[in-house]
Amino acid sequence: MNPEEILTSLQNPRIKTLVRLRDRRDRDREGQFVIEGFREISRAVEARLPIEEIFTCPELFLGSSEAELIETAKKRCGAVVWYVSRDVFQKVSYRDRPDGLIARAPKPDWGLGRWDSLLEENGSDQPQIFIVAQSIEKPGNLGTLLRTADAAAVTGLMVVDRCTDLFNPNVVRASVGTLFTVPVVECSSEDGIGWFREKSVQLVATSPDAEKVYTETDLAGSIAIVMGSEQYGLDERWLSQTDLQVSIPMAGSADSLNVAMATAIVLFESLRQRSVR
């Protein structure tokens, strides 16, 4: 590697593009987003996301597998690799402790058609578990929902009426790359409700006023756990369509849980019931 091959200026057009993609408007306009971190890029490569560029600074590597990952991304995804000086990399990084890897990729179009083919592969007669995230405001919560969905191997996660961009760098980071391992779709609430009705999937919501406790409710069939915004909860469109409303008993002074935590509690109870049966 020759010194002239290293990007050393923040004014370099490719570096300026990375900086612009911090902004949602630029991501939407250019149809591009960034993926930072070894684990995140690894999962994107495994999912065969068409990564276009990888920006790397070997001085910042934290392990010994980075070079192998870069070669895999070049062969599997067709990625072009650019070497970046330490100073420039640290300034364009989204992290306090960058690990020397940032990728740029086109934003995938994840519509409801993605799930139709998925059900055919899974067997439409088998019970399925979905998560619906309506108007989730905080990138960290959306990322944690993705990690939870991945841990439970759910059929898919639906993002409706989005407030937070699914391709926000903080969502990618909080998900630890599970954004690329969980079958995600984005759609309107109306289309989402219509799809679940067509597939005979029960809609389950949590409510402190629900008469049934989640552990005393049959959650072993095909269900979609529907969660709303952190501030306002589910809106009336979803509440009026839910088949089941369940409560999570609260013994302390707080009357609600973090949206990702509440989802995990109901989700893993559903998995427990399925394993018992």
Domain with residue 20: its CATH number is: 3.30.1330.30
pLDDT(1) > 50: no
Q: Residues 57, 124: one domain?
A: no
Q: Residues 119, 160: one domain?
A: yes
Domain final position from 73, 106, 139: 106
**pLDDT, position 177:** 97
d(CA 71, CA 69): 5
| Domain encompassing residue 182 | 113-276
d(CA 191, CA 194): 5
Domain final position from 71, 106, 141: 106
Q: Residues 166, 239: one domain?
A: yes
d(CA 25, CA 19): 12
DSSP-derived secondary structure for 92-132: H-SSSS--SEEEEEEPP---THHHHHHHHHH-TTS--EEEE
Q: Residues 122, 254: one domain?
A: yes
pLDDT(265) > 80: yes
Tell me the residue ranges of DSSP E strands in the chain: 6-7, 32-36, 53-56, 80-84, 101-106, 129-134, 156-160, 184-187, 202-206, 212-213, 223-227, 244-247
Q: Residues 231, 208: one domain?
A: yes
**pLDDT, position 65:** 95
Q: Residues 135, 219: one domain?
A: yes
Q: Residues 36, 156: one domain?
A: no
Collapsed DSSP state (helix, strand, coil) of residue 40: helix
- Residue 240: DSSP 8-state: T
Tokens of residue 83, six digits: 């070497």
What is the bridge-based pairing of β-strands 101-106 and 53-56?
A: antiparallel
Q: Residues 183, 254: one domain?
A: yes
Q: Residues 158, 83: one domain?
A: no
Q: Residues 147, 262: one domain?
A: yes
Instruction: Tally the domains of the chain.
Output: 2
Q: Residues 179, 160: one domain?
A: yes
Tens-place pLDDT, residues 25-67: 999 999 999 999 999 999 999 999 999 999 999 999 999 999 9
Collapsed DSSP state (helix, strand, coil) of residue 78: coil
| pLDDT class of 255 with cuts at 50, 70, 90 | confident
Q: Residues 88, 207: one domain?
A: no
| Mean per-residue pLDDT, 76-92 | 95
Of 187, 186, 188, 193, nearest in space to 241 by CA: 193
Collapsed DSSP state (helix, strand, coil) of residue 144: helix
Domain final position from 82, 106, 130: 106
**pLDDT, position 3:** 40
Q: Residue 233 maps to which CATH number?
A: 3.40.1280.10
Lowest mean pLDDT among 25-34, 121-130, 229-238: 121-130
- Residue 24: DSSP 8-state: H
d(CA 82, CA 1): 11
